[in-house]
């Protein structure tokens, strides 16, 4: 998610000629930056929580390599978390969402960046539903009420369909996301895998394990309506029984040619805040995170993880992406290997 009103559950998170024509072909596109980023407003069913217009960013560079990135932006699931002025989520898309303002994997001037020449779509979060919402929901507290347009699923789909139309046959695809986008990237990954082929695609979530003291229903978002058809009858993924670890384990088993991976800080202050809001104790979150990771490694041996000690929230769009290491391996190199379809091992800090 982004840092609250530019906070995390996480964030910070070849223009001209034929390319410019292609960018304009699907939705309204603004003038691009020097780095070739264009803002595209797709319309249709898309939108932000309070009714403002949704936009995403796109960059066409090497069309044999595609990065699909879901930004962070928090989450809202009650009157208090969704009300105007809430610090729990970001309800708008504006210039601060531009990848040209980010660092890490979006720093196109850094020669260490493994994605410098990749084509990319960057999908902001503005609906409080971790990119799985497809309904309008009214939250109430006494006589007070607030209507939230949970349109995150439609927003993600609009960006994906733009990518499918403009990057037709990439050799490599990485579906990634930070915070709220970590969950979104996993939910939208099956469509990307089915479209481009599992042997070409990988998924990497950053800083949202979606671990809570209670199992989830997600009914306020209609979120489980978007499970892949082959999963909709799974009793363990029904409302009131859903866990992210169970969902990921089933994806990993179904797509043996795809690498699924996650990065997390052991002491993530944003994830701790949401864990506590669900009735747990913030100090118990690290244990819950480690239990979820152990479950995934047990049930899905091909799952890969990178656990960083200490406190923090999100890493992919930050300078720290290049400095974090575990067991002598840099997160930068670990991520680059996943994106290239090369094998990696799970890594964890030692302190």
Whether residue 14 has pLDDT greater than 50: no
**How far apart (Å, rounded) are the C-alpha atoms in residues 300 and 249?**
5
**How far apart (Å, rounded) are the C-alpha atoms in residues 286 and 271?**
9
Q: What is the tens place of the pLDDT at every residue in 72-130?
A: 999 999 999 999 999 999 999 999 999 999 999 999 999 999 999 999 999 999 999 99
pLDDT confidence of residue 293: 98
- Which residues, 6+ apart, have CB-to-CB distance to 233 below 8 Å? none
Beta carbons of 41 and 126 less than 8 angstroms apart: no
Least confident of 9-13, 168-172, 292-296: 9-13
Mean pLDDT confidence for 132-144: 97
Average pLDDT value for the chain: 91
Residue 85 in tokens: 């002025």
pLDDT confidence of residue 311: 92
Whether residue 131 has pLDDT greater than 70: yes
**How far apart (Å, rounded) are the C-alpha atoms in residues 72 and 177?**
7
Q: How confident is the model at residue 27 (pLDDT cuts 50, 70, 90)?
A: low
Whether residue 15 has pLDDT greater than 60: no
pLDDT confidence of residue 153: 98
Q: Give me the helix-helix angle, 244-254 and 285-299, nearest 10°.
A: 20
pLDDT confidence of residue 276: 96
Mean pLDDT confidence for 129-148: 97
Q: What percent of the chain has pLDDT over 90?
A: 87
**How far apart (Å, rounded) are the C-alpha atoms in residues 184 and 36?**
25
Report the 10 Å Cβ neighbour count for 36.
20
Report the 10 Å Cβ neighbour count for 21.
10
Which residue stretches of the chain are H helix? 17-24, 79-82, 152-166, 180-196, 244-254, 269-277, 285-299, 331-339
> Which residues are bridge partners to 122 per DSSP?
57, 69
Q: How confident is the model at residue 143 (pLDDT cuts 50, 70, 90)?
A: very high
Q: What is the tens place of the pLDDT at every residue in 239-271?
A: 999 999 999 999 999 999 999 999 999 999 999
**How far apart (Å, rounded) are the C-alpha atoms in residues 263 and 105?**
14
Q: What is the tens place of the pLDDT at every residue in 145-201?
A: 999 999 999 999 999 999 999 999 999 999 999 999 999 999 999 999 999 988 899
Least confident of 14-23, 76-85, 118-127, 337-346: 14-23
Q: What is the tens place of the pLDDT at every residue in 231-242?
A: 999 999 999 999
Mean pLDDT confidence for 129-133: 98
Q: How confident is the model at residue 33 (pLDDT cuts 50, 70, 90)?
A: very low
- Going by their DSSP bridges, the two strands 38-41 and 259-267 should be labelled as unpaired
pLDDT confidence of residue 28: 52
Beta carbons of 177 and 70 less than 8 angstroms apart: yes
Mean pLDDT confidence for 323-343: 97
pLDDT confidence of residue 25: 43
Could you tell me which CATH class the domain 17-348 is placed in?
Answer: alpha beta
Mean pLDDT confidence for 318-331: 96
Beta carbons of 50 and 91 less than 8 angstroms apart: yes
**How far apart (Å, rounded) are the C-alpha atoms in residues 241 and 15?**
46
pLDDT confidence of residue 35: 57
pLDDT confidence of residue 350: 80
**If DSSP codes are grouped into helix, strand and coil, which group holds residue 10?**
coil
Whether residue 66 has pLDDT greater than 70: yes
């Amino acid at each position: 998610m982004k840092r609250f009103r530019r906070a995390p559950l996480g964030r910070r998170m070849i223009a001209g000629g034929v390319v410019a024509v292609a960018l304009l072909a699907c939705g309204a596109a603004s003038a691009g930056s020097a780095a070739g980023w264009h803002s595209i407003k797709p319309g249709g069913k898309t939108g932000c929580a309070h009714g403002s217009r949704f936009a995403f960013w796109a960059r066409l560079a090497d069309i044999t390599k595609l990065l699909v990135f879901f930004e962070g932006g928090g989450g809202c699931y009650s009157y208090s978390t969704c009300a105007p002025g809430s610090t729990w989520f970001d309800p708008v898309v504006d210039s601060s969402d531009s990848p040209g303002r980010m660092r890490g994997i979006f720093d196109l001037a850094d020669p260490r960046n493994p994605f410098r020449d990749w084509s990319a779509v960057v999908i902001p979060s503005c609906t409080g539903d971790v990119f799985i919402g497809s309904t309008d929901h009214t939250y109430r507290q006494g006589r007070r009420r607030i209507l939230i347009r949970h349109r995150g699923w439609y927003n993600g789909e609009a960006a994906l369909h733009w990518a499918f139309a403009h990057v037709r046959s990439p050799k490599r695809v990485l579906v990634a996301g930070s915070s709220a986008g970590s969950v979104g990237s996993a939910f939208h990954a099956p469509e990307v895998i089915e479209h481009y082929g599992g042997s070409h695609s990988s998924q990497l979530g950053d800083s949202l394990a979606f671990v809570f003291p209670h199992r989830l229903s997600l009914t306020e978002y209609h979120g489980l309506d978007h499970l892949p058809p082959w999963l909709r009858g799974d009793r363990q993924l029904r409302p009131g029984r859903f866990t992210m670890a169970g969902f990921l384990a089933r994806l990993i088993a179904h797509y043996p040619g795809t690498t699924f991976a996650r990065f997390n800080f052991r002491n993530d202050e944003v994830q701790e805040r949401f864990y506590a809001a669900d009735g747990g104790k913030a100090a118990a979150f690290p244990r819950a995170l480690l239990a979820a990771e152990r479950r995934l490694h047990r049930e899905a041996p091909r799952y890969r993880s990178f656990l960083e000690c200490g406190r923090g929230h999100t890493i992919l769009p930050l300078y720290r992406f290049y400095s974090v290491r575990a067991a002598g391996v840099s997160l930068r190199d670990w991520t680059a290997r996943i994106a290239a379809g090369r094998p990696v091992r799970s890594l964890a800090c030692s302190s």
